[in-house]
């Protein structure tokens, strides 16, 4: 019998693993079990699907189950949930969700790519119609259908993380009044205040109301549909659509039950080969930890970029190869209305909490030559180690040229460059793209001066 690789979960990490394994090993059998009805799609596009920039759900799907069977000889089983893993006998228990039939499947190698799920806070009547989380393609379809059928006018977003921001733009673009409530005193988690204040101004400029240090205490409804939310500040607000963006949790329960070690973050612990503590079982993506190259320890920063890379490494090793995933530096970017917001490495808040001896600077500089149209100011915040001058993190916000500039700092973090070295980088220049002294170089040399003081 041919060797068999089984993959649990068929989105970014799972399908990357299956595809990589197939490329290396045409001879093995590859089976993917996916609970939902879709595989290989970009969840990152969901806010743009809801706002109708992306018209059809199929546009978000890269390849479907038929493609994987016909072109890659990978057997994809949608609507099949894996209930249990039995490492001792190398089998899994699968349930066909269409007919409730359960059966065991043998594997030689297993990749767990079960991703994560949206956290639903414990709020009274959170299950009323019109209250959504956004995680899977089915969630996006549900929200879009609800909007079409009910024409909601007042949207409430619970949680001011990056998904809350993207959805605020999405729902506002559909003509809804949007209120965001955030239980923490600041938006965007560990991002620093100098960046957040620009984001808050952008929300205000676009008519989005934000209440910080505020949570929802209960929802009330009429005929099963959400109508009002009672807030912790005593206010009762009218709502007809609620989006919960209160974070996500790794789907690591079936792994834990099978004796697979979880890390301190609650996600599956893996080494650089994406191996778990049980031989022959790998894990990748939003259900697993990743090693942070600045913090020097495993962290849980679930992103599509990491899921694809980890999946590829898990698939290669499960197929008998020898690939390594060195780690991440926590690079992320999002758009809210006309702003691009990006970060990499650690923020000042994190540097303080982690006990780093650091120096920081904030500068503003044009994105293009001052005489060339279309440019605007970029705000850059840099954090470096006081003694060595090594970059620890960067955050940027602006209307033009932020998203890809952050990648210079991400690369610098991977290369462990000092701010002095960053200030000397031979970066590109022509008036339509950058000023002769790019904001990256200005920020680095400003921080260098502070370090030398
Ligand atoms: P998932 O996408 O969660 O897929 C896991 C799959 O496993 C799911 O389909 C699930 O149904 C299935 N599954 C779980 N348990 C079982 C089981 N027991 N049996 C069978 N199947 C199971 N990342 C970025 O890098 N940039 C972005 O701009 C960005 N934007 C985003 C916007 C939104 C709205 C969302 C929701 C996410 C965004 N992300 C972004 C994050 C990115 O989408 C995820 O990191 C990525 O999808 C993770 O892929 P994954 O395969 O690890 O997990």
Residue 135 CA, ligand 1 centroid: distance in Å: 7
Query: Which residues neighbour 364 within 8 Å (Cβ) at sequence distance 6 or greater?
Result: 377, 378, 379, 380, 439
What is the average pLDDT across 83-112?
98
> In which band, very low, low, confident or very high, does the pLDDT at 43 lie, cut at 50, 70 and 90?
confident
Lowest mean pLDDT among 59-63, 349-353, 388-392: 59-63
312 touches ligand 1 (CB under 6 Å): no
Site to substitute for ligand 1 among 10, 32, 42, 44, most atoms within 8 A of C-beta: 44
Q: Is 43 touching ligand 1 by the criterion CB < 6 Å?
A: yes
- What pLDDT digit, counting tens, does each position of 214-227 carry? 999 999 999 999 99
Q: Which of 48, 31, 182 has its CA nearest to residue 94?
A: 31
Task: Tell me which residues are annotated as active site.
Answer: 44
CA angle 286, 15, 137 (to 5 degrees): 65
In the prediction, which pLDDT does 61 show? 85
| 354 pLDDT above the threshold of 90 | yes
Is pLDDT of 10 > 90?
Answer: yes
Cα-Cα-Cα-Cα dihedral of 164, 165, 171, 177, to 10°? 90
Q: Is the pLDDT of residue 453 over 90?
A: no
Q: How far, in Å, from the CA of 115 to the mean position of ligand 1?
A: 5
Q: Give the model's pLDDT for residue 345.
A: 98
pLDDT given at position 145: 97
pTM, to two decimals: 0.96
Count of beta carbons in the 10 Å neighbourhood of residue 95: 18
Q: Does ligand 1 lie within 6 Å of residue 113's CB atom?
A: yes
Name the band, by pLDDT with cuts 50, 70 and 90, for residue 41.
Answer: confident
Q: What rounded mean pLDDT belongs to the chain?
A: 97
Burial 404-418 (b: 16+ CB within 10 A, else e): ebbebbbebbbeebb
Q: Rounded CA gap, 59 and 414, in Å?
A: 34
Q: What is the mean pLDDT of residues 325-353?
A: 98
Q: How far apart (Å, rounded) are the C-alpha atoms in residues 222 and 34?
A: 36
Confidence of residue 452 (pLDDT cuts 50, 70, 90): confident
Q: Is 336 exposed, middle or buried (0-12, 13-18, 19+ CB in 10 A)?
A: buried
Model confidence at 1: pLDDT above 90:
no
Query: pLDDT digit string (tens) for 235-248?
Result: 999 999 999 999 99
């Amino acid at each position: 019998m041919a060797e068999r690789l089984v993959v649990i979960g068929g989105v970014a990490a799972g399908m990357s693993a299956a595809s990589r394994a197939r490329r290396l090993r045409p001879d093995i059998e590859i089976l993917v079990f996916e609970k939902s009805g879709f595989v290989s799609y970009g969840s990152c596009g969901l806010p743009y699907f809801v706002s109708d920039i992306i018209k059809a759900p199929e546009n978000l799907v890269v390849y479907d189950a038929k493609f994987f069977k016909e072109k890659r000889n990978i057997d994809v089983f949608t609507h099949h949930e894996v209930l249990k893993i039995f490492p001792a006998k190398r089998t899994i228990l699968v349930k066909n969700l269409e007919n409730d039939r359960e059966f065991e499947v043998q594997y030689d190698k297993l990749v767990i790519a079960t991703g994560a799920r949206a956290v639903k806070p414990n709020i009274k009547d959170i299950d009323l119609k019109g209250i959504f989380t956004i995680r899977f393609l089915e969630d996006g379809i549900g929200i879009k259908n609800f909007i079409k059928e009910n024409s909601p006018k007042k949207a409430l977003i619970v949680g001011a993380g990056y998904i809350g921001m993207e959805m605020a733009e999405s729902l506002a673009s559909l003509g809804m009044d949007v209120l965001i409530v955030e239980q923490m005193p600041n938006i965007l988690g560990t991002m620093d205040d100098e960046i957040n204040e620009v984001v808050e101004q952008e929300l205000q400029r676009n008519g989005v109301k934000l209440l910080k240090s505020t949570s929802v205490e209960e929802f009330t409804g009429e005929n099963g549909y959400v109508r009002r939310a009672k807030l912790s500040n005593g206010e009762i607000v009218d709502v007809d659509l609620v989006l919960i963006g209160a974070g996500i949790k790794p789907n690591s329960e079936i792994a834990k039950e099978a004796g697979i070690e979880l890390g301190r973050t609650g996600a599956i612990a893996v080494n650089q080969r994406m191996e778990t503590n049980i031989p022959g079982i790998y894990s990748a993506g939003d259900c697993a930890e990743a090693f942070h190259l600045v913090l020097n320890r495993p962290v849980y920063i679930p992103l599509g970029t990491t899921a694809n890379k980890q999946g590829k490494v898990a698939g290669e090793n499960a197929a008998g190869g020898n690939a390594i995933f060195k780690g991440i530096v926590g690079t992320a970017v999002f758009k809210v209305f006309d702003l691009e917001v990006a970060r990499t490495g650690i923020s000042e808040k994190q540097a303080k909490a982690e006990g780093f001896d650091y120096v920081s600077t904030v500068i503003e500089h044009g994105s293009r030559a001052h005489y060339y149209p279309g440019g605007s100011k970029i705000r850059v915040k840099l954090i470096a180690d006081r003694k060595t001058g090594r970059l620890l993190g960067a955050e940027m916000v602006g209307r033009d040229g932020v998203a890809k500039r952050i990648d210079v700092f991400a690369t610098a973090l991977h290369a462990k460059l000092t701010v002095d070295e960053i200030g000397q980088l031979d970066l590109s220049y022509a008036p339509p793209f950058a000023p002769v002294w790019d904001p990256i170089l200005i920020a680095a040399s400003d921080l260098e001066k502070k370090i030398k003081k």
